[in-house]
Amino acid sequence: MSDLMKVSSNPHVRSKTDTSNIMLTVVIALLPAAGFGIYNFGLDALILILVTVASTVLTEFIFEKICKRKVTIGDYSAVVTGLLLAMNLPVSAPWWIGVVGGVFAILVVKMLFGGLGQNFMNPALGGRCFLLISFTSIMTNFDCDAYAGATPLANLKSGEAVDILDMVIGRTAGTIGETSMIAIVIGACILILMGVIDLRIPGSYIVGFVIFISLFGGHGFDWAYISAHLAGGGLMLGAFFMATDYVTRPITKNGQYLFGILLGILTGIFRIFGPSSEGVSYAIIIGNLLVPLIEKITLPTAFGKGGVRK
């Protein structure tokens, strides 16, 4: 009898998904883009990726050892941060850029605020923006063996013609992981099919961005111009892999739509009116800072409250 009567409190349905599963899925989903980056830019890209990942994991490990906390490198979140950060670096960056960025991302943005789940902005983007402000000339130098000169977005901004097919495949200058739209979309499909992310944030991000570009881009609804903007730069990587970060996105459904639209508008503003040709990282970071406000105004009414929010 006692075997049949199992008394327990809820939740009764448990999922086997945990942090390390999810993070591992994200790592796998990032591999196509990383692999294409290595194919595109050569072995230097591989070395930079390895150095950056090693620095993020080691920073987390050493910090937790020194502070005598539970070591959490087994949840792979530091690997994801390192990988994302490396994908946002230009291949010409020296190895210590990866180390400095990795240490800053983990130590300052993540661990000092309490570790995974407590960080108020995406650690990888925090690290990238730190590097971008500190070492502007290194971080915007996209010259390498394979490609010389500006990124397609910079060309687009200065009014030159761009080859959209090259941008979709990824045969362009840029940061290691952002160039190939195809590889990123493959990774995004893995994430969506595994149920790790859904299309709310990326979808509203892209739709918001397209609408903004059509209204203010100066080209009207010019499909070639819009697709060049979508395929170029870090928009795809940002929309699918960084804006959807569990910790720094809004948890309410309506909040996620609002968040995505906000990111689209901010990215459009930075790309069209800003001095630089790219603005995805800053847009997502500013969006991250606004998440508490977005959650506050989109808080759903509890059942039985009669629609009156108090």
Partner 1 sequence: MNSAKERLVNGIVKENPTFVLMLGMCPTLAVTTSAVNGLGMGLTTMAVLALSNVFISLLRNIIPDKVRIPAFIVIIASFVTVVELLLQGYIPFLYDSLGLYIPLIVVNCIILGRAEAYAYKNPVLPSLFDGIGMGLGFSVALTCIGAVRELLGAGEIFGIRVMPESFVPVSIFIMAPGAFFVLAILTAIQNKVKINGEKKGKDMSKIQSGCGNDCMNCSDTGCAHGLYGEKAGGTSGGQMKEGEKNG
Amino acid found at 296? K
Task: Check residue 301 for interaction with partner 1 (CB under 8 A).
Answer: no
Q: Which helix (H) or strand (E) holds 305?
A: none
Contact 59, 107 (CB under 8 A): yes
- Which residue's structure tokens are 């075997």? 3
Choices 11-19, 40-48, 135-143, 208-216; region in contact with partner 1 by CB under 8 A: 135-143
Of 105 and 236, nearer to partner 1 (C-beta) is 105
- 136 lies in the site for partner 1, by CB under 8 A: yes
Tokens coding 252: 């309410």
Nearest-CA neighbor of 106 among 72, 140, 138? 72
Nearer to partner 1 by C-beta: 100 or 196? 100
**133 forms part of the interface with partner 1 (CB under 8 A):** yes
Q: Does 99 bind partner 1 (CB under 8 A)?
A: no
Helices and strands of the chain, counted as H and E runs: 14, 0
Q: Note whether 108 binds partner 1 by CB under 8 A.
A: yes
In angstroms, the Cα distances linking 74 to 19, 24, 36, 97, 108 are 9, 10, 26, 25, 20
Q: Which stretch binds partner 1 (CB under 8 A): 134-142, 163-171, 242-250, 273-281?
A: 134-142
**Gap between the Cα atoms of 184 and 190, Å rounded:** 10
| The one among 61, 95, 120, 135 contacting partner 1 by CB under 8 A | 135
138 binds partner 1 (CB under 8 A): yes
Q: Is residue 20 a contact residue for partner 1 (CB under 8 A)?
A: no
Chosen residue from 20, 118, 134, 301 binding partner 1 by CB under 8 A: 134
The residues that touch partner 1, with contacts defined as CB under 8 A, are: 100, 108, 130, 133-136, 138
